[in-house]
Every structure is written in C-alpha cells, then in structure tokens.
C-alpha cells in the first residue's frame, strides 16, 4: 500500500465513523487504512486517502460552528460504467443528490454519504 505521505488526503466530517467506513468500503471500493474509531478512520482508494473525522476527532473539533453543514466540495471518482454503478448503488438503497448530467467531458451523478458529504461519480466521454 502507498504510504500516507504519497497520497492526496481529503477530510470529510462525519457524524458516525463506523457508518462512513462501511459506506466507503462496501459501496465505493475503498480499503480501510486505520481505524481508531469512534473518533476517526481513514480509507484509501488509489492515490486518495479519505480522512473520516467523527465529532470527537481533532479535525472535526477544529471546524467552525458556522461550517457544520456539508459543503459544495466533493471527491471525484472516475468509473468505467456509470449506469452499472448507479444500478448497484440504487439496489443498495443509497441516496443520490442529482440526476445524471452529461457534458462534453463525460457524464456524472452526485451521491451522498451517510453524513451528507458529496461524491461525484464520473464516466469520461469516449475519446
């Protein structure tokens, strides 16, 4: 496995670390890296290390009170077949936050994790 200093890290504030770990490892192909839950865990997919910070973590405590709602930022995951991904995630009763949007670069849809953080699933347009 790549070491943390070789990864790009993104922190998501979550209200339930175990639920977030389950979501990312079960549905989106991440693997568990460390898990000192309930405060924190991190999961890895390729070069992305996703820091899942629960209410007791220092990362969550550093967040200003007026920034507690999920933001407009999101991680961007490239998929080979968006329709198949959508079908599998809908079968797992997961919550989408948008419809499929198509543009010159490809197609995308937004998925929400259990805390409401956004994940963009993106299928590049054929070249």
Cα–Cα distance for residue pair 61/121, rounded to 1 Å: 29
Predicted local distance difference test score (pLDDT) of residue 87? 97
Within a 10 A sphere around the Cβ of 119, how many other Cβ atoms? Answer: 24
Enter the pTM of the model.
0.83
1, pLDDT greater than 60: no
pLDDT for the residue numbered 63:
64
The rounded distance, in Å, linking the Cα atoms of 49 and 52 is 9
Among 70, 41, 39, which residue's Cα sits nearest to residue 55? Answer: 39
CB 40 within 8 A of CB 20: no
């Amino acid at each position: 496995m790549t070491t943390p200093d070789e990864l790009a890290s993104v922190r998501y504030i979550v209200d339930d670390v175990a639920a977030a770990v389950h979501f990312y490892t079960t549905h989106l192909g991440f693997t568990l890296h460390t898990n000192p839950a309930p405060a924190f865990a991190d999961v890895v997919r390729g070069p992305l290390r996703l820091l899942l910070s629960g209410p007791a973590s220092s990362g969550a405590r550093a967040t200003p009170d007026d920034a507690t709602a999920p933001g407009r930022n999101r991680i961007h995951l490239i998929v080979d077949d968006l329709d198949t991904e959508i079908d599998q995630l809908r079968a797992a009763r997961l919550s989408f936050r948008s419809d499929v949007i198509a543009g010159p670069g490809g197609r995308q849809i937004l998925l929400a994790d259990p805390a409401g953080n956004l994940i963009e699933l993106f299928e590049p347009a054929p070249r």
